[in-house]
Amino acid sequence: MKNVLVIGGGGREHAIVYSISKSDKVGKIYCAPGNAGIAELAECHPEIKATDIDAVLAFVEAHEDIYLTVVAPDDPLAAGMVDRLEAAGHRAFGPRANAARLEASKSFAKDLMKKYGIPTAAYEVFTEYESAAKYLETCSYPTVLKADGLALGKGVLICANKQEALDGLKEIMLDKAFGSAGNTLVIEDFLTGFECSALAFCDGKTIVPMTTSQDHKRALDGNKGLNTGGMGTFSPSYKVDKAMEKRIYDEVLLPTLKGLIAEGIEFKGVLYAGLMINGDKIKVLEYNARFGDPETQVILPRLATDLFDIFEACIDGTLDKIKIEWTGNAAVCVIAASGGYPEHYEKGKEISFGDMDGDIIVFHAGTATKDGKLVTSGGRVLGVTALAPTLKEARDKAYKNIKAVSFEKIHYRTDILKEL
């Protein structure tokens, strides 16, 4: 049995811990910082921040029993946590900093797509406010402004007209609303269609798609309100058939891997292409260099293969030797958030659960234990994942069960898969 440390403390990390806890090869699980739900499966270390590379390295050095560290969030990957762990002789799952740039720099990602013929929206890159403002005079609207660096999923502005775009440009490049992430700006064409999250495991040489999923980014029903980290997901995406899945592999995932190899970059970990699909057109909106949140909460419960074996294969470069299988179930996850998220919201509200179906999975995100009670401690509080033979049944089950969750000012979208 091997002991594993998971870095992160959201719903995604809860789903990773849940999945590896089922492996008969995994012994003790540690998680830093973790949350109140993860604490039921793992020894959590809330004193260690997911971004604190020194503290994580010190923890791994002090615990010789840790065989593998799984780095789940974007910032520590971009900051080189895997590089540091490996340099000190430790085993880690996740891309190194040079590969994590695929997510951490939008201009790097766009240039890679252009160079290797991967379909994406037409774009321009700017490092100076004046030239970007000049471009906005002549471009067509709506247009999309993207801060180059990591901005907690908030660095993308969709601007309906020139005035909105000029205001957004000022916010990003002059007021530095996203800090240094806005030193470089990508302006790209606005795309329409439906979105699909195409995640894949990658060992540097082979890329194996996971099952498809779809997120709902806006805070409110009807895709209204602000962009959030994600308010609900379903898997598989019923809008993507087998032929489209094959095209996603042939036209996006494989060419991305080949492009990275040609650039001398070894990508080991989870490669996630956020796609916009319109008719027979597939375009990449963005890459992430990690599992999605809350996509992971619907993907991993459907995984039939041992996740620990997959992590091992990604690190060892043996992904071509294992078969990755999915259960026939469909999954739906509805996120319960604190009222006001993604802007101002209160924390410390007591969470209680009424009767729920026995096979419902509650993945915790912003939860903590205070004076022996379970309380809210973040914007996205938890996700209720339901599995069922069809998406429609999974949706009904998720909504029936989320009614049993209560805390003051709970907010969740009521329209996930409403169209079915």
Q: Which residues bind ligand GLY (CB under 6 A)?
A: 153, 215, 230, 288, 292-293, 295
- Kindly compute the dihedral angle of the four CA atoms of residues 228, 296, 15, 297, in this order, to the nearest 10 degrees: 70
Q: Which helix (H) or strand (E) holds 402?
A: helix 391-402
25: left (phi over 0), alpha (psi -120 to 50) or beta: alpha
Indicate whether 141 belongs to the interface with ligand AMP (CB under 6 A). Answer: no
Q: Tell me how far apart the terminal alpha carbons of the chain are, to the nearest angstrom.
A: 44
Instruction: Give the DSSP letter string of 180-209.
Output: GGGSSEEEEE---SEEEEEEEEEESS-EEE
Cα–Cα distance measured from residue 351 to residue 365, given in angstroms and rounded to the nearest whole number: 13
Cβ proximity of 56 and 47 under 8 Å? no
Using CB under 6 A as the binding criterion, the count of chain residues that bind ligand AMP stands at 14
Q: DSSP characters for 41-77?
A: TSEE-TTS-TT-HHHHHHHHHH-TTEEEEEE-SHHHH
**Residue 292 binds which of ligand AMP, ligand GLY, none (CB < 5-8 A, kind-dependent):** ligand GLY
Binding at 286: pick from ligand GLY, ligand AMP, none (beta carbon under 5-8 Å per type): ligand AMP
Residue among 169 and 276 whose Cβ is closer to ligand GLY = 276
- Asked if 274 touches ligand AMP (CB under 6 A), the answer is yes
In the block, tokens 């079915």 appear at 420
Q: Which is nearer to ligand GLY, 126 or 383 (CB)?
A: 383
Told to check if 145 binds ligand AMP by CB under 6 A, we report: no
Q: Which of 99, 285, 299, 416 binds ligand AMP (CB under 6 A)?
A: 285
Q: Using the rule CB under 6 A, give the single segment among 172-180, 188-196, 257-265, 301-309 that binds ligand AMP.
A: 188-196
Site string for ligand AMP, 57-76 (x = CB under 6 A): --------------------
Q: How far is the CB of 226 from ligand GLY (least distance, A)?
A: 14
What are the respective helix, strand and coil percentages of the chain, to the nearest 5? 30, 30, 35
Decide which of ligand GLY, ligand AMP, none touches 36; Cβ closer than 5 to 8 Å per partner kind. Answer: none
Residue 279 Cα distances to 236, 239, 244, 282, 369, angstroms: 19, 11, 10, 8, 48
| Beta strands at 26-33 and 43-44: parallel, antiparallel or unpaired | parallel
Residue 188 binds: one of ligand GLY, ligand AMP, none (C-beta under 5 to 8 A by kind): ligand AMP
Start-end of H helices in 69-209: 74-78, 81-87, 97-104, 106-115, 129-138, 162-169
Cβ closest to ligand AMP, residue 23 vs residue 120 = 120
Q: Looking at 20-28, 184-192, 230-238, 315-323, which segment touches ligand AMP (CB under 6 A)?
A: 184-192
Q: At its nearest, how many Å lie between ligand AMP and the CB of residue 286? A: 3
Contact indicator for 33, 366 with CB cutoff of 8 Å: no
| CA–CA gap between residue 315 and residue 204 (Å, rounded) | 9
Helix (H) or strand (E) holding 278: strand 268-278
Closer Cβ to ligand GLY, 173 or 285, answer by number: 285
Q: Are 395 and 332 in contact (CB under 8 A)?
A: yes
Query: Which does residue 365 touch among ligand AMP, ligand GLY, none (CB within 5 to 8 A, set by kind)?
Result: none
Q: Which does 230 bind (CB under 5 to 8 A by kind): ligand GLY, ligand AMP, none?
A: ligand GLY
- Under the binding rule (CB under 6 A), the answer on residue 188 touching ligand AMP is yes
Among the listed ranges 1-9, 153-161, 263-271, 381-389, the one in contact with ligand AMP (CB under 6 A) is 153-161
Q: What SS3 class is residue 411?
A: strand
Which residues, 6 or more positions from 115, have their beta carbon under 8 angstroms from its beta carbon?
A: 259
> Per-residue contact track with ligand AMP, 103 to 122, x per CB under 6 A?
------------------x-
The CB-of-369 to ligand GLY minimum distance in angstroms stands at 26
Partner interacting with residue 191 (select from ligand GLY, ligand AMP, none; CB below 5-8 Å by kind): ligand AMP
Candidate list 156, 240, 307, 368; residue touching ligand AMP; CB under 6 A: 156
Asked if 203 interacts with ligand AMP (CB under 6 A), we say no
Contact 25, 308 (CB under 8 A): yes
217 is a contact residue toward ligand AMP (CB under 6 A)? yes
Smallest distance from the beta carbon of 375 to ligand AMP, in angstroms? 30
**Interacting residues with ligand AMP (CB under 6 A):** 121, 144, 153, 156, 158, 188, 190-191, 195, 217, 227, 274, 285-286
